[in-house]
Every structure is written in C-alpha cells, then in structure tokens.
Structure 1
Amino acid sequence: MKIGSIFSAYSLLTASAAAASSLRSSFPESSCNQATDSTSCVKTIDDTTGERCEWCEAGAIPSECMSHEQAKQLPAGVFDCQTPAARAKSQFVFKNKVHSLHVNEGHDDICDASSKSIAGYMDIQGSEYDANGEDKHLFFWMFEKRNSATKDNGAIPLIVWLTGGPGCSSTLALLTENGPCSVNPDGKSTTVNPHSWTETAHVLWLDQPAGVGFSYGQETDANEQMVAEDAYYFLQAFFQTYPEYQESPLYIVGESYAGHYVPSISHRIYRGNEEGRDGTIQLPYAGLAIGNGLTSPEKQYPAYPDMVWNNSHGIKVVVKETYEAMQDAVPRCVSLIQKCNEGDSIVNTFACQTAFLVCNTALTSPYQMTGLNPYDIRKKCDVRPLCYDFSHVSSFLNREETKKALHVDEKHSHTWESCNFGINMKFHTDWMKDFSGYVAELLNAGYPALIYVGDVDFICNYIGNEKWTYELEWNGKKGFQGADVHEYLDVGKARTSDGFTFLQVYDAGHMVPTDQPKRSLEMIQNFVMGGKF
C-alpha cells in the first residue's frame, strides 16, 4: 500500500472516531457506563432493560462498556462490541495459548424453557495431560437457576455435577436424575422436571474424562491425578469465558465413582487457588457433596456382607452360607487395599490390581449372582449391564436436531452412549485408592462436605459410607463422632458437625435424585444455602 493510501485511511479512521465520539456523547446514560473494564462490564446489567452489558473495543478512542441499545448505534468500523451471542465461536488467550470455544446458548426447544442454557465444549490447554497433542475437548451442558436474573448471579450457587462409572456421562443424569427435563419414552421429546436442582442453583453437567458422552480427544486418563488436572483446566476455561459466574459459590457434586472424582477435583481447585499460577484465576470453590460414592474402599468393601444381611429394610439378599463366606473374605481384601494405598511402586500397583479382582470376586460377585439390581436391593436387574433401559435417552441425544442444538462436534466425538466401558477398564488400578484424605483436608480448611446415601443401594451402600465418615481423621472428628444421629425432615437420618454431614436417605437407591426427587432437591438446597441438617 502506498504512503498516500495509508494516510487517507488514517484520516478516514480519525474522522470516524471523532464522529463516533460525538455520537457516544449523545446517548442517555446507562448503568453499563459505570463499568471500567471488560471483566466488570460483562457482569453488569443494564438497569433500564435488564440485559447484560457489552464491552465495546475501540482503537482510536477509549473502549467502553455499553448497553445493548447503545452498542447497536455505534459504527462497526470503530467499535467491536462483544455480545453474549458473539461468544458462540470465539477465542481467548489462556496460559499463552489460544483456546477455541464451541458453545451454543439457549435450547428452549429441546429442554426447559424457564432458564438460560449453554452447551458445547471447552478444551483444557494448560493441563499437563493435554500437552502432547491429546487434543481433549470436554462437553458440558449448563442451565441457569430457574427464573433467575443475571444481576443475581453472584448470590446464586453453581453446582458442577459429575456422574461416575468411571466412564459414564453426566448428561445421562441431567436427563434422568436432577436435570431440568427428562426424555419421554418416544426418544424425541422431553418433559420438564419440577424437582430439578436448577430450582436452587445454576447447574453444569460435565462429561469427563475425554471420551465420555460427547467429550473427545485421546482417552488417556486412568487415575484421579489426570482427572483432577483436566477438570481444573476445564473450569479455568469456563470461568474465564463466562466471568459473570466468577462470584457464584462453586460446589463440586457427584455420585458413584465420583466419590473419587469429587474429592480429587475439589482438592486440585483448592491447591490451584493456593498456588495462584500465572494465567489462572481464583475459582470460587465453596464445598463438595458426594451421593452414594466410592471414596474409601478400605472402609467400604467390608460393608458388603452387612448390606446383604443386616440392611435397614431387613432384606436377606443371599443365603446365610454366602453371607458367611463374604465375611471370611474381608480380611484378605482389606490387606490388599491397604497395600495398594501404601505408595505408587510396582508392588503397590500390583496390589491395587489384585485387590480389584479379589475383592470384587469375593464381595460383589455373590450379589450379582442373585440377579438383583446392585443399585437397588428391592429390584431385579431387568436390562444388562446397567439394569435400566436408557435407550430413549440415547435416541434423543443422537438425533441430528439435538446434536445441532447442543453444538456437538460430530467429526470428533463418539455416538453418545450412557457409559464408555473402555474408559471404565482403564481405572481398575485407580479403583481401590482412598480419597477420604482430601475430604479431611478440605474440611480442615473450612469447606463443608455432604455425604448422602440412598439406603437400598448395594454397590456404594450407606453402611460403608457411614463407616468411613465416622472414622475420618480430621480436626472435627471428636465433635462429629459425638454428634447425635437424628431425623432430618422426612428425608432420612443425619449426623452433622462443623460443616461435615452424613445423611442416610430413606427408600432411595444409587441414584437418589431419581428415587427421591423432592427430598433430594430439599437436601441440596439446604446444603448450598448453608442450612443445618
């Protein structure tokens, strides 16, 4: 380009900037104009329209926070205004790398229309387990609290939900347990769930690790260090992309194998906040909850004989000889689990693998042989391998209309399945590891923890969960052990002290929100609002 052309372009730009500045001065004032940077701007609500403000970048004159109406009147050649919709495909710099975001906002036509939803992918660059071309992208589907205003975001808790497995999709829980809608038998439509946890909080259902649900990338995760690292950088990406949620108290919640996930991810957040590395932000971590989880195998596996013979419902699941054989197998199982948790040497790893085989053969296989549902001792296992028919959910999520609405990357992701059993097998060495110590450390740091357990679940039963919580070594152990066991509303029995609560939920199996939707909503609402049990 010739010098004269550059000068002419500069003159035009200067003139446009002057005109834009003059136009800006004619606008009526808005509460948006009080915000002085992009971060505070996107958290601000226009007091006239109730819409989120927009940050308008400019080169020749100062950038400014504008209302949506103001932004529409600005010349595009001078201002570049970032709207919520503009985030649908954008990029941002994080830890000196550029993240490509693929998200889509608003899915009123396929689920609950009473709250805003966001779905899509975040990559996890920054994780040491995504540094060698693994190209992991984690899928999420989030709904804001029902009937909430954006200006209230700072006061509204945000729950991140993790389904266990390992290898099972959190999207399954969204559509069958605690989400805002459930899939109808036709596999094409949904019905609003009046007891959704979005009645009390924003909730984000995260499919992880890579390869689960619609998440994709190399399926390398095989232990909690990897899971926690990847999830931590997912959360960094999410909160830096959506700063309007940065003041929402963050609760990490999950069930089943999430008894491993939840403490590990919570502890990684806690450690990350303490370290404050460049490129990361403080995540608003507030506490954890685990439903029917596997957290301390050493304490929980010995409970299997009692659960088949001395459970709260008086159901004798096996014959006495089988019960006694299960009891006899406990000492060797516990010894192997202890060796597994002594370190990370080859000997310890071998003990972990051996414990998985020996303990499950002796203590869970006898139950499987009965033909009963391991997630509910009152029922038969009707549909193998999960004992429930989720075919209508699979049909719904694999419809082209659904995938398009959720911005699913069909080039890279699998066909959606409830569980990825290949990933499940990768975690067999991780299975017998104990993560109750992370819960203790977080309790000692002042973060609350709720352990709730449906009392007709066999596989992660209330007897074993009550045992590890009672025996947990933490600063409040004496007070917790001395606390009375009492009725909590009509939900179940509770023991609580110094922010730590164990809750036995009556007449619920492995999936408490499915079996007791109203009670589970009351429970989680009380927890995230800081109520007493």
Structure 2
Amino acid sequence: MLRIVAALAALSAASASGLVATVRMEPVVDSPCVDNVKQYAGYVDVSDKWDSHYFAWLSESRSNPSTDPLIVWLSGGPGCSSSLAMLTENGPCTAKADGSGTTRNPYGWNTKANLMYVDQPAGVGFSYADRGGYSHNESQVGEYMVAFFTGFYKKYPQYANNPLYMACESYGGHYCPSATYALFESNKNAGTNFPIKGMAIGNGLVDPASQYPTYPKFVEDQCTKEIGKPCVDKSGYESMVAASPTCSKLIAQCQSDDSACPTAQSYCNNAMFGPYEATNMNPYDIRIPCEVPPLCYDFSGVATFLNNPATQKAIGVNGITWASCNYEVNGDFSADWMKNMAWKVPPLLKAGIPAWVYAGEDDFIVQWLGNQAWTEALPWPGAKAYNQTTLQPWTSGGKVAGAHRSYGGLSFTTVANAGHMAPRDQPEATLTMINAFISGQPLPSE
C-alpha cells in the first residue's frame, strides 16, 4: 500500500511539472499476440508540454501475475522499437514471416514474469510527440521514464508491489542505467517508492572508453575462433589498431565537452566498424552475411502485422505507421553516443540493485569482449573481488550455453551461438538466464 500511495503522490508532482496527463493503456480483447494471458496495451502520456506519448504492451506472467516480477524491456538503436523485440526475440508471441498473425513463443520472458515493452523515446515505434519534444540525451530518457512509471502505477496499482526489473538491449546500455538510476534517485529524493530491483543489459553500449579499444582483438581472436579466420583483412585490422589511440582520445574529450561527441562518434564508428562493414557480413552476427540492409534481417512481416488496422485497433493505436527504427531519433543522440553511462551503476550496486550484463558471443556491433571490459573497469567496492573471478561454463537444458562470472550484485554472461539479439538466437538459454536473475538463483553449471 505504501508504494501505491507514493506513486500517487509522485503523479501529483509530475502533473504539476507538465508530465503525465492521462494513461490510455487498456485490456487487449482477443489479442493479436497469441498467448493465454491477460494483456494490456496503449499509451502513457508523459509530457503535456510536448504532447508526448509512450506506447506500451504488457503481457501478464504465465505463472503467478499477482506476485511475479515485472520486466520492462527497452530496445536500443537509438531509435528502434521495443515492439520489434517483442515479436522477434523474447515476447510472448512471434510474428509470422508473412505478417498474417503470430504464434505463441514457448520461451517468452513472461514465463515467470509480467512483461512489458515500451517504445521510447518519443518518435520510436508507435510512440509520438511534437518534434521539439524528442529526447536527445539520457537525462531526458530518465525523466520521461519516471513520468511513464508514475502514470503506469496510477492506472495499474496492482503492480506496485511486484519487483521491477529493467531489461535493455544494444543502445539500451545507455537507457538501462539511465532509467534505473532515475527511478532510484526519484525514490531517494522525491519520496517515490518505485519497486526497482535490478537491470539486465544485453550486448549494450555502456562505457565506450572501455569497449571501443577491444574491437581489434575481437575481429582477430573471436572471429578466428568462430569462423576460422579474422573478420577483416590485415590492412583493415591494422587500420583499426592505428585508429584506436585517436578514438580513445576523442571519447575522453566527449566526457567533458559535448561539442566533441559527434566527432568522436563519427571517427570511432568509421574506424572500428568500417573495415567490418566492407566485408558485407552481418555486424549483428559474424557467422552470416547481411541479407537485408541496414538491419540485415527481414522484418517486413513484423511491419505488416503491426500496420494491420485490426492489430492497431486491438492495441489502442490509430493510424500510426510503425517502422522498426526512426533514424531522426538516431541522429538526435549523436552527442550522447560516446557518453559513459557506467558511472550510474555503482550507486545502484551499493543500494543492492544488481546488474546482469550478458552478450551473444557472435555479435560484432557491441561485442562481448567490450561488454566484459566495462564490467572489469567499473569502480565499485566489489571491483577487486569481481575481477578475480573467471568465466565458467553455464548450462541450459543440460547443454553448455556460454560462460559466466559474478560477484556481489554484478554478473557477466556470454551466450554461445548467439549474435546481437541473443534471445532471438538462443531463446531457451536466455530464458534460463533471465529466470535465474529475477529469482536470485545461480545459473545452472556443469
């Protein structure tokens, strides 16, 4: 009850500042997302000033929705829709290839959790706002997510006592620390009581200064391990190595000078990604070619399904054309890309809010060596003990599923035979992983 009262108090404060007007999430009748659970979809209005509205789609747990945790998923890009992940990765249903409907996903992350996908920031997926209200930095991401949850808990107070976990992918390495930290700070400073209990970050860009220097090693070592040869030729590798010091210098400048950030993004991405992109292989999975640029996968069935008027009517959307990514939003974050978001993690760990970092081993674009590197560079009280741990095999369904290390509230996991979208490639293994996280249990091991 205290949490509900706190959420209502927060709503009054947020409304006074022009945030959160009405909540238009309603039960979905005859859901087009095939699963035998209650679903809710629609909008949370997060800003009156900018006429800003976030679309969300929630599926209740297949187990015990009244007490199971709530996982809230944010996709990255920046600018890509969480609805895409819902229908192609870890949601309760999977879109058919021709877009004619969906099939039930037996490995949906709502197996033991309530699961909600939020299209954010504004302009992404079905979410919309006045163009001037589009976000371009993580302070805005955090602010609007606080507004979102304030409105959500007002409409659905039955979830206010369920443990809340943020789960993010890719550029979600910026979003997850920012949203979780904003909720944590709101609890500390604004008298709210959002039930935030942890965050999971998949193949996420969190600390570019730690992550970008690992690309040359990845294209040599991991590619040779996985495909029998380096991912780029000798000249490409040498150009990556030669560019690394300048890239690191520019990233460092970006931390104190926003005007240096777009240059850092352009230089480092051209230097580290350019040689790989020249191979025409899939940057999201080093094992396969890029078949449908720019995302390399055929998501036309998802677009067909979500742009079907019957689908839109069922989920409370009216005439908005859905696209997998909004590249205007992507460009808006050019000064945000190279910012370090890892500094938001230690206060959360200190407060007992754990972070679980995972990465598909065959992703290039935000590869696992870099993800491990930022966890090792993290300045927190458990750093020494964490860095003394080593990767050990973990299993799912009786088979080795990757490697894992953990100390205190910080965990790092690799997912074998998986690319950037690990839940898409290894649904059973990633379900095993997320269920271990939200239950506080260790991963199965050999």
Q: TM-score range by the shorter chain?
A: over 0.9
Which structure 2 residues correspond to residues 258-337 of structure 1 after superposition, within 5 A?
258-277=172-191, 281-311=192-222, 312-313=225-226, 314-337=228-251
233, 242, 258: which one aligns with 1:349: 258
Question: Shift in Å at residue 308 of structure 1?
Answer: 1.2
Q: Retained in 2: the 8 A contact 1:162–1:205?
A: yes
Identify the match of residue 166 of structure 1 among 44, 57, 78: 78
Answer yes or no: is 1:197 the counterpart of 2:109. Answer: yes
Query: Which residue in 2 is equivalent to 1:137?
Result: 53
TM-aligned CA distance change 1:397 to 1:94, over 3 Å: farther
Matched letter for residue 522 of structure 1: T
Q: Mark the CA change 1:370 to 1:475 in structure 2 (over 3 Å): closer, same or farther.
A: same
- For structure 2, list consecutive stretches of 5 or more residues without a partner in the other structure: 6-10
> Residue type matched to 2:285 in 1?
D
Q: 2:413 aligns with which of 500, 503, 507?
A: 503
Check if 1:252 corresponds to 2:166: yes
Residue among 457, 465, 490 paired with 2:363: 457
CA–CA separation in structure 2 for the residues paired with 1:95 and 1:434:
28
| Alignment partner of 1:486 out of 369, 377, 392 | 392
By relative contact order (CA 8 Å, sep 6+), the higher-ranking structure is 2
- Answering whether residue 7 of structure 2 is matched by residue 110 of structure 1, we say no
- Quick one: which of 268, 275, 281 aligns to 1:372? 281
| Residue 389 (str. 1) matches residue 303 (str. 2) | no
1:400 aligns with 2:309: yes
Q: Distance in 1 between matches of 2:200 and 2:183?
A: 15
CA distance in 2, matches of 1:101, 1:299: 40
Structure-1 residue corresponding to 2:8: none
Are residue 232 (structure 1) and residue 141 (structure 2) matched? no
Contact residue 257 and residue 294 of structure 1 kept, 8 A: yes
* Structure ID, larger Rg: 1
Corresponding position: 1:438 with 2:344: yes
Amino acid at match of 2:22: S
Report the AA paired with residue 415 of structure 2.
Answer: V
Q: Counterpart of 1:372 in 2: which secondary structure? A: coil
1:440–1:190 distance in 2 versus 1, CA, 3 Å: same
User: Offset at 1:101?
Assistant: 2.5
RMSD (Å) for aligned C-alpha atoms: 1.8
* d(CA) in 2 for partners of 1:94, 1:206: 23
The offset of 1:106, in angstroms, is 2.8
CA distance in 2, matches of 1:186, 1:434: 40
Task: Say whether the 8 Å CA contact 1:115–1:147 is kept in structure 2.
Answer: no
Q: Choose 432-441 or 163-172, whichever is displaced more.
A: 432-441
How far the C-alpha of 1:349 sits from its partner, in A, is 1.8
Q: Equivalences for 1:513-524 in 2 at 5 Å?
A: 513-524=423-434
User: Can you list the C-alpha shifts for 1:27-50, whole angstroms capped at 9, x where unaligned?
Assistant: xxxxxxxx9x9x69xxxxxxxxxx
Cα deviation for residue 94 of structure 1 reads 6.2
Amino acid corresponding to residue 139 of structure 1 in structure 2 = F
- Paired residues, what number? 426
Within 1, Cα distance between the matches of 2:79 and 2:15? 31
AA matched with 1:134: W
- CA deviation after TM superposition for structure 1 residue 178, in Å: 0.3
Runs of 4+ in structure 1 off by over 2 angstroms are 92-101, 106-109
Task: Give the whole-Å Cα distance in 1 for the aligned partners of 2:188 and 2:318.
Answer: 35
Distance 1:424 1:454 in 2: 23
Instruction: Return the alpha-carbon distance in structure 2 between the equivalents of residues 96 and 170 of structure 1.
Output: 26
Cα 1:501–1:147 change in 2 (3 A) is closer
Match of 1:418 among 316, 324, 327: 324
Aligned 8 A contact 1:143 1:202 in 2: yes
Secondary structure at the counterpart of residue 129 of structure 2: coil
Give 1:66-145 correspondences, 5 Å limit.
95-96=14-15, 99-125=21-47, 133-145=49-61
Shift in Å at residue 362 of structure 1? 1.0
TM (normalized to structure 1)?
A: 0.77
